[in-house]
């Protein structure tokens, strides 16, 4: 919303609403859509919507949407110990993307999708190390965390391309 006639307060409210909607979408796609359980947690497609939010919203708003949506999913589906780590990891994930480009699917966001796989793997490895006190136990989860980030990237790329054709970003964000 770069329209100079729109008051900053309205712009802030608009971003807050879009962030809240994305937090709800991230929560639902993380907690309830088909997911693949494994010993340490579950693989889901919610990260694809974190990528989308981060391509639409300025960084602090995208970080909040990802952190809140992901942490709520953990907290409300029996993975409460994971919620603080998830909040941090999902906020960092959102930082890898940019909303400053005209399109959702730009070079920066493609690189962000690739790097988010590493953030997911490394972040959850560190968090599981903290929870278990073991450097070895979290190794078993690395493949699933890779799968989660990669699957979300595979979903994000065609979704962003399709939304770009519909001028979704301009319609939603008023740009």
In a domain? residue 34:
yes
> Which CATH number fits the domain that encloses residue 113?
1.10.1760.20
Give the pLDDT score at 131.
95
Give the pLDDT score at 125.
97
In a domain? residue 1:
no
Average pLDDT over all residues of the chain: 92
In a domain? residue 3:
no
86's tokens: 């998830």
Q: Which domain holds residue 101?
A: 8-173
| Measured distance CA(9)–CA(150) in Å, rounded | 37
User: Is residue 142 predicted with pLDDT exceeding 70?
Assistant: yes
Local confidence band at 43 (pLDDT 50, 70, 90 cut-offs): confident
Reported pTM: 0.91
Mean pLDDT of 130-139: 96
Closest by CA to 28, choosing from 37, 20, 17, 39, is: 20
Domain count, the chain: 1
In a domain? residue 111:
yes
């Amino acid at each position: 919303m770069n329209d100079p006639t729109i008051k900053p307060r309205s712009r802030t409210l608009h971003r807050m609403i879009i962030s809240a909607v994305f937090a709800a979408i991230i929560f639902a796609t993380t907690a309830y859509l088909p997911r693949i359980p494994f010993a340490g947690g579950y693989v889901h497609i919610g990260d694809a919507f974190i990528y989308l939010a981060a391509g639409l919203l300025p960084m602090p708003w995208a970080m909040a949407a990802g952190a809140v949506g992901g942490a709520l999913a953990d907290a409300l589906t029996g993975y409460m110990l994971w919620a603080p780590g998830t909040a941090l990891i999902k906020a960092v994930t959102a930082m890898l993307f940019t909303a400053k480009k005209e399109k959702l699917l730009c070079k920066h966001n493609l690189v962000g999708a690739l790097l988010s796989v590493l953030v997911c793997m490394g972040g959850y490895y560190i968090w599981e190390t903290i929870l278990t006190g073991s450097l070895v136990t979290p190794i078993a989860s690395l493949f699933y965390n890779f799968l989660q980030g990669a699957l979300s990237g595979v979903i994000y790329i065609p979704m962003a391309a399709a939304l770009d054709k519909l001028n979704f970003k301009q319609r939603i964000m008023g740009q």
